[in-house]
Amino acid sequence: MSAEPLLSVRDVVKTFEVSRGFMAKKKLVHAVNHVSFDIMPGETFSLVGESGCGKSTTARMVDHLILPDSGEIIFDGKRIDNLTDREMQTFRRDIQMIFQDPYGSLDPRMKIQDLVAEPLLLHTDMTAEERRKEAVQWLNIVGLSEAHGQRYPHEFSGGQRQRVGIARAMTVHPKLIIADEPVSALDVSIQAQVLNLMDDLQKEYNLTYLFISHDLSVVEMISDHIGVMYLGTLVEVAEKKQIFEKPLHPYTKALLSAVPQPDPDHPNQRISLEGEIPSPVNPPAGCLFHTRCPYCTDICRRVTPELRDMGNGHICRCHRTEEINQEAGKDHVQV
Amino acid sequence: MGEKVLEVEHLRTEFKQEKKKYVTAINDVSFTLNEGEIVGLVGESGCGKSVTSLSIMRLLGDTSGRVTQGKILFKGQDVLSLSNKQMRNLRGGRMSMIFQDPMSSLNPVTRIETQMMETLLLHRTKDKAQARRMAAEMLKKVGIPDVETTLRSYPHQLSGGMCQRVMIAMSMSCDPQLLIADEPTTALDVTIQAQILELMKKLQREEKTTILLITHDLGVVAQMCSRVLVMYAGRIVEEAPVHELFYNHRHPYTQGLIDCIPKIGSGVRRLPSIRGSVPDLALMPAGCKFAPRCPFASDECRKNEPELLPYEGDPTHLVRCFRTKEVLS
């Protein structure tokens, strides 16, 4: 593994202002709190968590669509979070995005071929004919034909549209692709096609992915490293294998056990979480997870735990990591 | 095995596309639900799962769709021949439904109490105070912590999980004998999904409700159902007890669906997928509808459509395929 990360997110914070009604006092939504992670070139790093945990906000900050309140984002050795939009233009080519909704993210009035060629118009000085050729080539790579290029988005199924989205992102040979829930809107049978395509492209072009998903089973397929988010903070970061075989944080464990397994003989060892995710406007004191945690004690309610390295780069934010995993050593989620 | 609650026989529903042109959304769908069982109905989007449920509930209403063939018997009573008024008495009372999107299926401009009482006043009681008490009791049953506040709330003040609990409370409030749950947890996060599934199971155990669970998630099916119907292109292609379906399925579509789900902890990086996608309703292939995507398709499959027949004489395991012997071998 090369030493320099391609993307480094350091202690990033983002809050949004909300006000409840006229004259009301402004309140803050703590969307992302002190999030840090590195992604090595050629690797897939996934952020997982439930809705509202800040995973998409983090992705948007990496893509410079939202600016962080504090913290640094370093891409390819250069700090990008403080660039102006114009300065950012040169990096846009290297950071491309694939969106969740294949229906909403393609201009319905443009031909597929023009949609795929559009980034080339922005980032290169190719002639129209060169752009067309390049677009056709990419359509072929993602499994569509030249004839598809003459059609409009509404003529395509969800899976095909997602292929178009991928071709469009790939035309400018990016280094980093941010994929925000790229398969969540697709049927399982089609999910597999798109994930396999993303995997092929990664190998072929040495791509780096920042993959955002709520679906742990999808994340397991595509990731090298995984970060689990809860209420705007990272609660656990580790290699994929560690997360699935030896999860340390109680939230990760509950999340893993909550996924229904497609096997009627699978023993139901669900760790059920009480209640719901607290509002990010009034996050709980102490550990953010303490309101739903089955292992919560007094210290959890008072003191915010720090991220601690539990060995081999397995990072966990929990006061009771050692105790929990000692006593629960045998009933690790066996899946 | 209990009494038959719902019998669907050779159901066919068509939708008007343009003038005088009809497409068949579901065709020759037959199945039976027995008292107290949870039966799963699975398939990809566009394969007719929701049209089946809307046909049973007679909720196609003013859309361009209509049932053109077949019978739907609820406790022996022909649902299709009922008048609209009789149907209204049945719907929400002895037969009820939970929809996929809890946020948009509740009325945004009335309080939860009004919505819940409406159903109860129609089916159970004429006394408003009693209806309110019943609503409160039902909310308590589905695990809502602060019942009074919830009753006074509007849907937008509740989270998705809470709204779905309210929907479940509402649909269960008149002791239905049949509950059709159309993707009840798809819009929810996994930890909340786990809570809701647990709740549905508990209610089913206590009240002996028959549930038709429509979902695309085979994980949910494995955890919840005793029997499964697999639908493809508007037809039932396989029906089997849950264990049989996962371990001894005979239809290549079922096999494809099961193979392409990522399993947690399996460590695979690549998954088999079903090539192609669901055919357009207006452009259905001749013969077996799955043939264009099927790895086992032969000339016969492309010419004739197979029937839904017992596999090796087992009346509980039905499959619609000519080449059952090849699958899984």
Domain of A277, CATH number, reads 3.40.50.300
Q: Which of B159, B216, B264 sits opposite A335 (nearest CB)?
A: B264
- Of A172, A197, A223, the residue at which a domain comes to its end is A172
- Of A149, A172, A195, the residue at which a domain comes to its end is A172
What residues in B contact A228, CB-CB < 8 Å?
Answer: none
Q: Which of A193, A214, A259 sits opposite B219 (nearest CB)?
A: A259
Residue type, A170: M
What's the rounded Cα separation, in Å, for the pair B185 and B167? 12
What's the rounded Cα separation, in Å, for the pair A285 and A304? 7
* DSSP secondary structure of B243-272: HHHHHS---HHHHHHHHTSPPTT---S---
Residues A191 and A47 in one domain: yes
Order the strands of the A233-239 sheet from edge to edge.
Answer: A95-98, A176-180, A208-213, A44-48, A225-230, A233-239, A315-316, A308-309
- Distinct helix (H) and strand (E) counts, chain B: 12, 12
Residues A141 and A180 in one domain: no
- Residue partners of B84: CB distance under 8 A and separation at least 6: none
* Residue entry with tokens 């071929």: A113
Q: Which of A199, A216, A258 sits opposite B269 (nearest CB)?
A: A199
CA angle (A222 as vertex; A188, A204 as ends), nearest 5: 110
Indicate whether A332 belongs to any domain: no
Residues A75 and A204 in one domain: yes
Query: Can you give the residue range of the structural domain that contains A14?
Result: 7-94+174-327
Question: Is residue A331 pLDDT above 70, yes or no?
Answer: no
One digit per residue, the tens of pLDDT, for chain B of length 329 reads 578 999 999 999 998 877 778 889 999 999 999 999 999 999 888 888 989 999 999 988 766 788 999 999 999 999 999 998 999 889 888 999 998 877 788 999 999 999 999 999 988 889 999 999 999 998 988 888 888 999 999 998 888 888 888 998 998 888 899 999 998 888 788 888 888 888 888 888 988 899 999 998 899 999 999 999 999 999 999 999 999 999 999 999 999 999 888 887 777 778 888 888 888 888 888 999 999 999 999 999 999 999 999 998 999 999 999 998 887 65
Residues A185 and A156 in one domain: no
Question: Is residue A332 pLDDT above 60, yes or no?
Answer: no
Q: Which of A196, A241, A276 sits opposite B192 (nearest CB)?
A: A276
pLDDT in tens, A146-156: 889 999 998 88
Answer whether A326 touches B (CB < 8 Å): no
Q: What is the pLDDT of residue A232?
A: 93
Question: Is residue A334 pLDDT above 70, yes or no?
Answer: no
Contact assignment for B264 to A218 by CB distance below 8 Å: no
pLDDT in tens, A71-127: 999 999 999 999 998 889 888 899 999 988 777 889 999 999 999 999 999 899 999
Q: How far is A225 from chain B (nearest CA, A)?
A: 13
- Residue partners of A40: CB distance under 8 A and separation at least 6: A1, A2, A5, A6, A208, A224
Residues A113 and A211 in one domain: no
Indicate whether A334 belongs to any domain: no
Answer whether A28 touches B (CB < 8 Å): no
Q: What is the pLDDT of residue A319?
A: 94
Q: What is the pLDDT of residue A77?
A: 92
Residues A110 and A74 in one domain: no
Tokens of A182: 């790229």
Q: How far is A31 from chain B (nearest CA, A)?
A: 18
Residues A218 and A280 in one domain: yes
- Distinct helix (H) and strand (E) counts, chain A: 11, 12
Q: Is B130 exposed, middle or buried (0-12, 13-18, 19+ CB in 10 A)?
A: middle
Indicate whether A289 belongs to any domain: yes
- Of A126, A154, A172, the residue at which a domain comes to its end is A172
What's the rounded Cα separation, in Å, for the pair A87 and A68? 17
CA angle (A151 as vertex; A148, A153 as ends), nearest 5: 105
Indicate whether A333 belongs to any domain: no
Q: How many domains does chain A have?
A: 2
pLDDT band at A68 (very low <50, low <70, confident <90, very high): very high
Indicate whether A1 belongs to any domain: no
Residues A196 and A320 in one domain: yes
Contact assignment for A262 to B246 by CB distance below 8 Å: yes
Residues A313 and A227 in one domain: yes
The SS3 of residue B1 is coil
Contact assignment for B218 to A218 by CB distance below 8 Å: no
What's the rounded Cα separation, in Å, for the pair A298 and A288? 13
Residues A158 and A196 in one domain: no
The domain limits of chain B are 253-329
Average pLDDT over residues A159-185: 92
Q: A230 and A288 in contact (C-beta within 8 Å)?
A: yes
Contact assignment for B197 to A190 by CB distance below 8 Å: no
Residues A289 and A225 in one domain: yes
